[in-house]
Copies of this chain bind each other. A is one copy, B any other.
C-alpha cells in the first residue's frame, strides 16, 4: 500500500514522457487508478508497476515513453566514462572502486527517485561506508566461478556496470529487459553503452521491472538456473529475487523507505548484499 502513491506518480510521469496532453494524461491517470483499485493484496510492487506502465503505454500509444530520457542518461554517463576509468585505475582497491561505481550508477532512475546529481553521487558513494557489505563473500564467489550473470537495471547505469564488468576477471553475460519498461535498459541501451564490447549481452525475454522468472524466456531461465554467481542491480531485482539463494549478490542504493526497511539499511544507503534462501 505504501507503494501506491509512488506507482501513481510513475504512471503520470510516464504519460508525460510519452508527450500526452492534459486530457490524455487524465485518461492514463484514471486507468492507473483502476489498476491500483483492482490489484490483489498479494500482488508485489514490481508486478503492479508492470501493469501501470503497460496501461500507460497503451493509453498514450507510446510503446517506449522513456526512450529519450534513456538515451540522455546513457549520453551523460558515457561522458563520465573516462573519469570513472581513471578513478578505478588510481584506486587502492580497483574491484571495490568498480563495485562502488556500479552502485553509484544505480542513482540513475525515474522510478522512486526524481532528481539526482550524478557526479555528486559518484563522490558520495566512493567515500560512503557500505550499509550492508557482503564484499568478502562476493570476492570469494568471484574467485570460484568461470562466468558471471549480470542482471542490469537502468539505461545509463549500464555505463557504470561496464566499468565493473571490465574489472571482473571472468566472462560476463549481461542481461537486459526483453522490451521497454520504465527506464530499464534494453538491448539497444546496452549496446549504446558499449556493453556488447565487454560482455555477451542477452535479453531476459520479459518487459517487466526486476526479474520475474515466470515472465522470462525459457532460455534466460535456463541461464539463470545454471549461473553460479549472479550480480543483480537495483531495488526491483532485489524485490523479485531476494530469496532466490546465496549465489545472487545485490548491488544497489536504497532509494525508498519501504525497500530500505526490508534490506535493513537507511534510505540513501549503499548495499552489497548476498541473497538468502536455498539455491
Q: Copies of this chain, how many?
A: 2
A1-B12, A4-B12, A5-B5 given as contacts; is B29 within 8 A of A41 (CB)?
no
Task: Tell me the interface secondary structure of chain A in the complex.
Answer: helix
B residues within 8 A CB of A30?
Answer: 37
Interface residues of A, count at CB 8 A: 17
Q: With a 10 A CB-CB cut-off, give which of A1, A6, A30 has the most chain B CB atoms.
A: A1
Interface contact A5-B9, CB-CB below 8 Å: yes
User: Does A33 interact with chain B (Cβ within 8 Å)?
Assistant: yes
User: Does A141 interact with chain B (Cβ within 8 Å)?
Assistant: no
User: Does A126 interact with chain B (Cβ within 8 Å)?
Assistant: no
Neighbour of A37 across the interface among B5, B9, B25, B34, CB < 8 A: B34
User: Does A227 interact with chain B (Cβ within 8 Å)?
Assistant: no
B residues within 8 A CB of A8?
Answer: 4-5, 8
Interface contact A29-B6, CB-CB below 8 Å: no
Query: Which residue in chain B gives the minimum CB-CB distance to A23?
Result: B41
Q: How far is the CB of A13 from chain B (nearest CB, A)?
A: 10
Query: Which residue in chain B gives the minimum CB-CB distance to A37?
Result: B33
Apart from A26-B41, A34-B37, A37-B37, 7 more pairs, CB < 8 Å: A1-B25, A4-B29, A5-B5, A5-B9, A5-B12, A8-B8, A30-B37
